[in-house]
Amino acid sequence: MPSEKMLTVKDAILEALFEEMARDDRVCIIGEDVGVAGGVFGQTKGLFEKFGEARVVDTPISEPAIFGMTVGAAMAGLRPVVEVMFGDFITLVMDQLVNQAAKIHYMSAGGYTVPLVLRTAVGVGGNLGPQHSQSFHAWVAHVPGLKVVMPQSPADAKGLMKAAIRDNNPVVFIEDRTTYNVKGPIPDGDVIVPLGKANVVREGRDVTIVAVSRMVQIATKAADILAGEGIAVEIVDPRCIVPLDRETILASVRKTSRALVLDAGHLDYGITGEIAAIISEQAFDYLDAPVARLAAPNVLIPCNTALEPLIVPNEQQIAQKIREMLNA
Amino acid sequence: MARAKAVKSQKAVPNKAAGSPLALYRTMATIRAFEETVQRLFLGGHIPGLVHLYMGQEAVAAGVIAELAQTDFIGSHHRGHGHCVAKGGDLDKLFAELLGKRAGYGLGRGGSMHIFDPANGNLGTTGIVGGSVPLAAGAALTAKLRKTGQVAVSFFGDGVLNQGIMFEAMNMAAIWQLPVLFVCENNGFGEFTSIDDVTAGKDIADRGKAFAIPSEHVDGMDVLAVQKAARTAVARARDGKGPSFLICSTWRFSGHHVGDKQDYKEDAETKAWRKRDPIAQLARKLVAKKQATQKQLDAIADEAKSAVTKAAEAARKLESPTPADLMEHLYAE
Amino acid sequence: MPEIVSREARLSLLERMLLMRRFEEAVIHAAAKHKYIGRNHLYIGHEGTGAAVMAQLKPGDLAHTTHRNHGHIVGRGADPGRALAEIMGREGGLCGGRGGTWHMTDTSVGFQSTSAMVGGSIGLATGGGFACKQLGQGNVSVALFGDGVLDEGISYEAFNFASQYSLPILFMCENNEKPGRRETSMLAADRLLDIPKALKIHTMTVDGGDVEAVHAAVGEALARIRKDQVPVFIESQIEAWPGSHQHKPEFTTGETDISMAWDTGKITGPHADWIRQEPILRYVRKLLAEKAAAQADIEALDKKVQAKMAKARDFAEASPFPQAEGAILGAFA
Ligand SMILES: Cc1ncc(C[n+]2csc(CCOP(=O)(O)OP(=O)(O)O)c2C)c(N)n1
Ligand SMILES: [Mg+2]
């Protein structure tokens, strides 16, 4: 609708935080530089001024304990949104995330819930190098008990953040820094995007691309290129990799008979392998070509203008791959 | 949140329930009977996995938890049965859990190192050394932010003293003046390594003092001393005056886990500690001060034993979880 | 205690500081010229510390540093042209242009690593100390880190280990937290030193703006570390450069004008206070006052350093970007 307001991904998430904190006083923000400083990317700007230091908590640089405390706080009745500044630093909270947060609901047979959102910024771009560019979504997706959300559009980012905050489980909310300034329309009102519901971003008959987060945007560029060649690409954005909306993916592949799975994370043992396996197992009879994959090569992410662009698959590579799939 | 000022909690939670010497005696006797039974069941092959017994350390759980209300929180560790019992855990459900029965706290899927009892504020036993320290601090953070008046106690072993997360949690508890007690149960050993071999500094208390946390050594074999120290610390926490660090020296009578031959310890040392058995020690004191007769105490111990035996026997007859239980509770609704 | 007696030694110390400063100025120029260069944590204002440490390390000593690393690396003797090329992502860089500012190393001068992870250097340097001790060649390991690292649990783990195992490590903490800001600080300790002290590590504190004071402290520490094979912790108190925490570096305080040391009327503007106390001008004033050098000597020294940096800049600018084919090589040895 033309009357809808436009926001960037970053501001859309921020708006979700404002609204959820106003709605529910158990929601609080915890992390390094999230308060007075308003976040290193400006992603929590204004929350401190509005909600005060009791609910927007600046912490020491102690990721393991910050996250562990968030888990304890959630068990005791808060609904915290805890920030891990860069996705790479998730390595520091892995123990509390995997061995505590993910286990408590199950091991207590439902006695405790751990309603928290771990938000973190990932993404290759800006030459931040091998400790500030990694995408560990496959690591967390591998752990039963965690939900993993990867938004790409402003509207999704807002609606998914609201859903994540209202979810009663530990939710890892992975934001790609490179999408932060992407602008898009935001529907009015309290609109929730349910976790685990894929979105068909673009319809097409010839080939299905399955992609999350930033890869959806790159895939769209590839689809535009291919449209000029008469190739109609369908793009499915699962939006959450856990829970994964298999049905929407499979329905699309059954329609187009070809699937290309994309990821900005590493190829080896990553999510493209998982999604490709699901398609092969459950839609094999519909396929006219092997499921194809494009993802980051298995190498460190250099801090270098010339080398960094080689990491994330670009629209040309995607378009070329699809041409090959159709000619095979 | 900047460095916190003292804010008195709004609703102080009164508690006088479990604090009498006889009640302490009952708690300790129950824990002892519980652990003896667990040991027997384990050796009989009825308990799957690994169990770490609390025998010898009863005074710590009993003394500290006596000062807590049901709504207060505790975070336990791998040697955690004593805390679960002292915090009011249901004996039937505890045995069911240990024996892998569906009626247990976690449908019998967790066992000894994964017992959670939300109704009694028990944030859980854990298999990760240091795992529950931040959980307790986090529960204290909730209590403070929501002004509930609750306090939280983090029980941990001496092995946790060298885990960075303990320092991180202590630091945050200190800057935000969280209502939390850090209770170190110093039994002298990690698994099989003496604390003296791996822990730097001349005094463990310095680790808390560096963060300006009131830190003191307590005789962990003397339940009355533990209770007294805990009373001060809990009052301080409830008054909004922040964390405390109690280091309770104690001894594990049955080694690291059931079956541990304990050849890394000196026999003489163990003998000396056994002379200070917290239960016998309290009994001697009560009788000497004429606060109880031996007959009374024996009756309490017998009652504890039979309650425990009854629960254990009943648990053995319970159902195991079904295959359908495997996927239960993976995610909350 | 080693004093800096000779005039040569004093001038060499100043030269090292000037090189560090002029290097950072070249980085600011490069960042202005090339859009892609950003996020540099500059060493301006810290030179008194880095120069004093680097001047006293021996060839086999190891050093691990943190995000604020440029001064350490060129101060230790790495080629400034190759260091600048690294920051600019060029093939001629110390790491082939792949690491950039946050991952510079130069093992040829004993510079083991830079880690952009807060707390990254301290664990590695502790391991370096372990190796130095095992190899028995009398070398020491140096961990260079900021005050923020004491928030991280790994620093406690490292201190404990270093202390308990008597490792030859210099823990060099560059504390640029504003004095008086401790109220809102994230560390509960009243003084940073209380923490290593609690773990029985010998500690010293020194004014980081006074290079000779740092030099004396580091000299004493290194002698002790080498002789007794023990860790020492030094806190160097530094007045943070007003340009710190800028992602895209800028000349907040202007390019350094060495003549401000004798022509103090030139010091004006919002940052005059910082400029008055900054370590380089301060040292020049001292050398002049003590007649260790004349204005002309100082100017000549600065010219020499500037000429060296001009060459370095030319080298870096001329160095090509790495070839794409090389990108995916080198993940494994
Ligand atoms: C593990 C980790 N957490 C957070 C960050 C983000 N970060 C980079 S520098 C910095 C501040 C470090 O402060 P300090 O150690 O005092 O160094 P200074 O910048 O003051 O020299 C933070 C939080 C990081 N790089 N690594
Ligand atoms: Mg600092």
> Residue ranges per domain, chain C?
7-181+200-316
pLDDT above 70 covers what percent of chain A?
99
Q: Which two tokens stand for residue C329?
A: 């090589």
Residue B122 one-letter amino acid: N
CB < 8 Å to C331, chain A: 298-300
- List domains and CATH numbers for chain B: 16-321 (3.40.50.970)
Mean confidence (pLDDT) of chain A: 95
State whether residue C103 sits within 8 Å of chain A by CB: yes
Answer whether C156 sits within 8 Å of B167, measured CB to CB. Answer: yes
Looking at B9-23, B58-72, B185-199, B265-279, which range is the least confident one?
B9-23
Residues of chain B contacting C, Cβ within 8 Å: 2-3, 162-168, 170-171, 174-175, 197-202, 206-207, 209-213
| pLDDT greater than 70 at residue A2 | no
Q: Which residue has the higher pLDDT, A2 or C97?
A: C97
User: Residues of B with CB below 8 A from C159's CB?
Assistant: 200
User: Which residue's CA is the closest to the ligand 1 atom numbered 6?
Assistant: C118
Model confidence over B176-212: pLDDT tens digits? Answer: 999 999 999 999 888 778 888 889 998 999 999 999 9
B69 in Cβ contact with B233 (< 8 Å): no
State whether the beta carbon of C146 lies less than 6 angstroms from ligand 1. yes
Helices (H), C264-328: 272-277, 279-289, 295-318
Interchain pair C324, A304: CB under 8 A: no
- For A100, the closest chain B residue by CA position comes to B131
User: Among residues 74-93 of chain A, which lie with CB inside 8 Å of chain B?
Assistant: 74-78
pLDDT band at B254 (very low <50, low <70, confident <90, very high): confident
Tell me what the mean pLDDT of segment C12-17 comes to. Answer: 98
Pull the structure tokens for residue A67: 């996250």
Please check the confidence at residue C171 and state whether its pLDDT lies above 50: yes
Q: Please give the pLDDT value at position B198.
A: 85
- Residue C79 CB–ligand 1 contact under 6 Å: no
B193: its two tokens: 């390594």
Active site residues of A: 63, 132
Is A37's C-beta closer than 6 angstroms to any atom of ligand 1? no
Identity of residue A178: T
| pLDDT score for C99 | 85
Closest listed ligand to the CA of C244 = 1
C321/A126 Cβ within 8 A: no
pLDDT at position B12 over 50: no
Residue of B nearest to C150 (CA): B168
Classified as helix, coil or strand, C50 is: helix
> Which secondary structure element, helix H or strand E, spans residue B5, and what is its range?
none
- Nearest atom in ligand 1 to the alpha carbon of residue C152 is 1
Instruction: Please compute the mean of the pLDDT values over residues C172-189 and round it to a whole number.
Output: 73
Chain C CB contacts of B163 under 8 Å are: 153, 157
pLDDT at C266: 95
User: If you average pLDDT over residues B150-164, what whole number do you get?
Assistant: 95
* Mutate which of A41, A59, A85 for ligand 1 pocket (most atoms within 8 A of beta carbon): A85
Across chain B, mean pLDDT equals: 92
Mutate which of A33, A40, A61, A84 to test ligand 1's pocket (most atoms within 8 Å of Cβ)?
A: A61
Average of per-residue pLDDT across B76-96: 97
Given a cut of 70, whether residue C183 has pLDDT beyond it is no
Q: Identify the chains in contact with B, defined as 3+ C-beta pairs within 8 A.
A: A, C
Structure confidence at residue C327 (pLDDT): 65
The DSSP secondary-structure symbol of A227 reads H
> What's the pLDDT score for residue B9?
43
Q: What is the reported pLDDT for B40?
A: 96
- A223-238: per-residue pLDDT in tens? 999 999 999 999 999 9
Residue C331 reports pLDDT greater than 80: no
Pocket test for ligand 1, best of C118, C122, C151 (most atoms within 8 A of CB): C118
Residue with the smallest CA separation from ligand 1 atom 3 is C118
pLDDT, average across residues C247-271: 91
- Which atom of ligand 1 has the smallest separation from the CA of C147? 16
**Interchain contact, C328 vs A299, CB within 8 Å:** yes
Q: Which two tokens stand for residue B201?
A: 């500094």
Q: Write down the pLDDT at residue B11.
A: 43
| Res. A17 pLDDT band, cuts 50 70 90 | very high
Mean pLDDT along residues B235-252? 97
Report the pLDDT value the prediction gives residue C280, as an integer from 0 to 100: 98
Q: What average pLDDT score do residues A149-163 get?
A: 98
Q: Are B81 and B112 in contact (CB under 8 A)?
A: yes
Mutate to test the interface with A, among B120, B142, B172 (most CBs of A within 10 A): B142
pLDDT of C181 over the 80 cut: no
> What's the CA gap between C231 and C269, in Å, rounded?
43
CA of A132 to the centre of ligand 2 (A): 19
Residues counted in chain A: 328
Taking residue A266's Cβ as centre, other Cβ atoms within 10 Å add up to 20
Name the residue facing A305 among C148, C149, C321 (closest C-beta).
Answer: C321
* B302-311 mean pLDDT: 98
- Nearest-atom number in ligand 1 for the CA of C151 is 15
Helix, strand and coil content of chain C, in percent to the nearest 5, comes to 50, 10, 40
Which pair of tokens denotes residue C195? Answer: 């923490």
Instruction: Locate the chain C residue with the closest alpha carbon to A89.
Output: C117
Q: Which chains touch C (3 or more CB pairs under 8 A)?
A: A, B
Q: Encode pLDDT of A47-75 as tens digits.
A: 999 999 889 998 888 999 999 999 999 99
Q: What is the pLDDT of residue C38?
A: 72
A25 pLDDT exceeds 70?
A: yes
Per-residue pLDDT at C50: 98
What is this structure's pTM?
Answer: 0.89
Q: CA–CA separation, C227 vs C210, rounded Å? A: 26
Contact A296, A199 (CB under 8 A): no
Q: Is A67 in the pocket of ligand 1 (CB under 6 A)?
A: no
- CA of C50 relative to ligand 2 center, distance in Å: 15
Mean predicted confidence (pLDDT) in B78-88: 97
Inspect the interface and report whether the beta carbons of A62 and C103 lie closer than 8 Å.
no
Question: A75 to chain B: nearest residue by CA?
Answer: B139
C120 pLDDT tier (thresholds 50, 70, 90): confident
The whole-number pLDDT of residue C118 equals 86
| CA of A128 relative to ligand 2 center, distance in Å | 20
pLDDT at A248 over 70: yes
Query: Tokens at residue B159, please?
Result: 């092995």
Q: How far is the alpha carbon of C302 from chain B, nearest alpha carbon, in Å?
A: 44
Cβ-based contacts under 8 A for chains B and C? 72
A positions 120-159 inside 8 Å of B (CB)? 144-145, 147
Q: Does residue C315 surpass a pLDDT of 90?
A: yes
- Give the model's pLDDT for residue C3: 65
Domains and CATH numbers, chain A: 4-187 (3.40.50.970), 199-326 (3.40.50.920)
Contact B199/C198, CB-based, under 8 Å? no
Instruction: Report the complex ipTM.
Output: 0.89
C20-50 residue pLDDT tens: 999 999 999 999 999 888 778 999 999 999 9
The confidence score (pLDDT) of residue B310 equals 98
Q: What angle do CA B97, B103, B107 make, to 5 degrees?
A: 65
Per CATH, domain C7-181+200-316 is 3.30.450.90: no
Please tell me the distance between residue C68's alpha carbon and the centre of ligand 1 in angstroms: 9
Measure B276 CA to nearest chain A CA, in Å: 35
The per-residue pLDDT for C4 is: 73
Say what the pLDDT of residue B10 is.
41
For the ranges A153-167, B156-170, C32-46, C156-170, the lowest mean pLDDT is seen at: C32-46
Cβ contacts of C36 on chain A, cutoff 8 Å: 127, 305
**Nearest residue of C to residue A64, measured between CA atoms:** C153
At A264-311, the pLDDT tens digits run 999 999 999 999 999 999 999 999 999 999 999 998 888 888 888 999
> Residue C246's pLDDT is what?
62
Say yes or no for a CB contact (<8 Å) between A127 and C119: no
pLDDT at C298: 98
How far is the centre of ligand 2, averaged over its atoms, from the C-alpha of C202 (Å)? 21
The residue type found at C279 is P
Which pLDDT band holds residue B68 (cuts at 50, 70, 90)?
very high
C46 membership: H or E segment, kind and range: none
What is the rounded average pLDDT of the residues C195-214? Answer: 96
Q: What is the pLDDT of residues C62-87, one digit of tens each?
A: 999 999 999 999 999 999 999 999 99
Reported as a single tens digit per residue, the pLDDT across A64-123 is 999 999 999 999 989 999 999 999 999 999 999 999 999 999 989 899 999 999 999 999
DSSP track, C100-141: GGGG--BGGGTEEEE-SSTTHHHHHHHHHHHHHHHHTSS--E
Question: Quick one: pLDDT at residue B50?
Answer: 84
Indicate whether residue C41 lines ligand 1 (CB < 6 A): yes
| Cβ burial A142-170 (10 Å sphere, 16+ → b, else e) | ebebbbbbbbbbbbbbbbbbbbbbbbebb
Q: Which two tokens stand for residue C193?
A: 């030193």
Chain C interface disruption, residue of A63, A305, A308, most C CBs within 10 A: A305
Determine the distance in angstroms separating the CA of C147 from the nearest CA of chain B, rounded to an integer: 14
How many percent of chain C have pLDDT more than 90? 74
What are the tens digits of pLDDT across the range B111-135?
999 999 999 999 999 989 899 999 9
**What subunits make at least 3 CB pairs under 8 angstroms with A?**
B, C
The CA-atom distances, in angstroms, between A222 and each of A215, A276, A318, B100, B215 are 10, 20, 6, 55, 63
B295, pLDDT greater than 70: yes
Helix (H, G, I), strand (E, B) or coil at C173: strand
